Structure 1
Amino acid sequence: MENPNTIISSTRTDYGSTTHANTFISDTLNSDSLTIVTAAVKTTASVSQRFSTRSTESNRRGSRVSAVGGYQSLPNTSTGNLHNNRSSRHFKMSMDTMPNSETRQIVQRLEFLFSVINQICIGFVTIFMSWLCLRTGLAGTALHAWLVTIGYSFLMAEGIMSHFSGNVLTFNYKRTTKTTIHWTLQALGGSLGVAGTLIKLIQKGFTIYSTHAKLGFAAMILCAISMCSGLIALFSMRLKRTLNPLLNKSFHNLVGVAAFAVALVAQYYGYQTGFFSRKVDTDFQILMKVITLLSLVLTSIGPLQALYHKCINIYRHFS
Structure 2
Amino acid sequence: SLHVPRTPQTMGLVNEDALAKMKPTAYLINVARGGIVDETALYNALKEGAIAGAALDVFAEEPTTDSPIFTLPNVVVTPHLGASTVEAQDRAGITVAEQVATALGGAVPMHAINAPVPMGEGAEFVAQFSGLCEALGSLLYQLTDHTGDTLRIEYRGEVAGFDTRLLDVSAQKGLLASMVFEPLNFVNTPALARERGLKVETSHSSESADYTNLVELRMGENTVSGTLFGPRMQPRLVEAMGFDFDVVPEKHMLFIRNEDRPGMIGKLGSILGEHGINIGNMAVGRGEPGSRAAMAVTVDEPVTEEVLNALVETPGFDDARSVTL
How would you bin the TM-score normalised by the shorter chain? under 0.3
Relative to its length, the structure with more strand (as a share) is 2
Structure number, greater radius of gyration: 1
Using the size of structure 1 for normalisation, the TM-score is 0.28
Relative to its length, the structure with more helix (as a share) is 1
Q: Which has the higher contact order (CA 8 A, sep 6+)?
A: 1
